[in-house]
Structure 1
Amino acid sequence: MYLRSPIRHCRACGTAMVYRLPDDGDTRERAICPQCGTVHYENPLNVVGTIPVLADGRVLLCKRNIEPRWGKWTLPAGFMELNETTAQGAARETDEEAGAQIEMGPLFALLNVRQVGQVHLFYRATLLSEAFHPGHETIEARLFTEDEVPWDELAFRTVRETLRRWFADRRAGHFGMHCVDIE
């Protein structure tokens, strides 16, 4: 189960926070400022990324140059920023991490990762070139067939589950939309 890191001080006025049920009928304990009354909500973070592929089915993976999981392989993905859509964020992360030119496709997988308070969204994407220009967060960007994927060296379970479903859908000849709960 996800354990929150308590909010200690109000972001509006700096007063020490208390956790209690709000007076508006909310049924969850929230961080509430006893001075100014501001309710501070804690919500999941969105991680957005792509499954960039060539027509021959090879998938682009990035070797991480940052923690967590330095040196492990992942799909290009990262935290969504304010003022962008999930698709815009996924395209931005693909550019930042792999320097890959893509055409965005539809949403492919939504993965709920409750224990860390995250929701991961992966879009299908078509690679327009085999030229990659990885950013500082990536050691190497490389194409893999299903048999070549370093399954034991993948950084995150969400990436493993997304890739397994993508390759299965490709073999079946049609792509669905997948919703997965990671426990």
Structure 2
Amino acid sequence: MKFCSNCGTAVDLRVPPGDTLPRHVCPACGSIHYLNPKMVVGALPEWEGRILLCRRAIEPRHGYWTLPAGFMENCETTAQAAARETLEEACARIEIGELYTLFDIPHISQVHIIYRARLLDVDFGPGEESLEVALFDEADIPWGDIAFRSVEQTLKHYYEDRRRGRWQFHVGTIPPPSGHSSPR
């Protein structure tokens, strides 16, 4: 951040009084600008034992498969964000189920939240951010072409839970790839 979004003055990076971390502070109007992690919210849409995946038409990971998910918008709940992203990326309508996975990804300042969901029908297709969408049985999941580790972990938990016949909420942290240095 270079300029204050309130008054346009160049900001300073310093620890404001009462804080412990450097923040972008406007020397003119005193506004403190907090840069916080982004919330990525999505769904694990199910239809008769199969999972709906989207092949990405955008970077990062263009051409790789993912669950329908994206950045949460202001003024929406996480469940609303999951349903909206599924509609945008897969043109699919879903019924949101329970919160299923939550992954902290501190090295990229993101939190990924995935809900279990039920497809309301099989009238789906690629949205603008998807090259294609398809339903997959476990044996057909393109494991080597999954876009994100949080999606891979969510799918693995799903199939493990399904085999056990017991669903549980999964929380974890995705570490940086080996050789990756933290931005802090």
TM-score, normalised to structure 1's length? 0.93
Instruction: Identify the residue that residue 132 of structure 1 maps to in structure 2.
Output: 124
Instruction: Identify the residue that residue 22 of structure 2 maps to in structure 1.
Output: 29
CA deviation vs aligned residue, 1:28-87 (integer Å, no higher than 9, x gap): 1111111111000010000000000113x2100001111111111000000001110000
Distance 1:132 1:162 in 2: 22
CA deviation vs aligned residue, 1:149-182 (integer Å, no higher than 9, x gap): 0000011111101111111111110111111100
| SS of equivalent to 2:138 | coil
CA shift at 1:133, angstroms?
Answer: 2.6
**1:4-15 matched pairs, under 5 angstroms:** 7-15=1-9
**1:69-88 matched pairs, under 5 angstroms:** 69-88=61-80
Distance 1:35 1:170 in 2: 57
Q: Which runs of 5 or more residues in structure 1 are unaligned?
A: 1-6
Distance 2:163 2:22 in 1: 47
Structure 2 counterpart of 1:45, from 34, 38, 44: 38
Match status 1:92 vs 2:92 = no
Distance 1:127 1:35 in 2: 52
| SS of equivalent to 1:147 | helix
Match status 1:158 vs 2:156 = no
CA shift at 1:134, angstroms?
Answer: 2.0
Instruction: Identify the residue that residue 103 of structure 1 maps to in structure 2.
Output: 95
Distance 2:64 2:20 in 1: 41
Structure 2 counterpart of 1:147, from 129, 136, 139: 139
Distance 2:23 2:131 in 1: 41
Q: Runs of at least 4 residues of structure 1 off by over 2 A?
A: none
Q: Which runs of 5 or more residues in structure 2 are unaligned?
A: 176-184
| SS of equivalent to 1:95 | helix
TM-score, normalised to structure 2's length? 0.92
Distance 2:148 2:15 in 1: 35
98-107 vs 129-138, which deviates more? 129-138
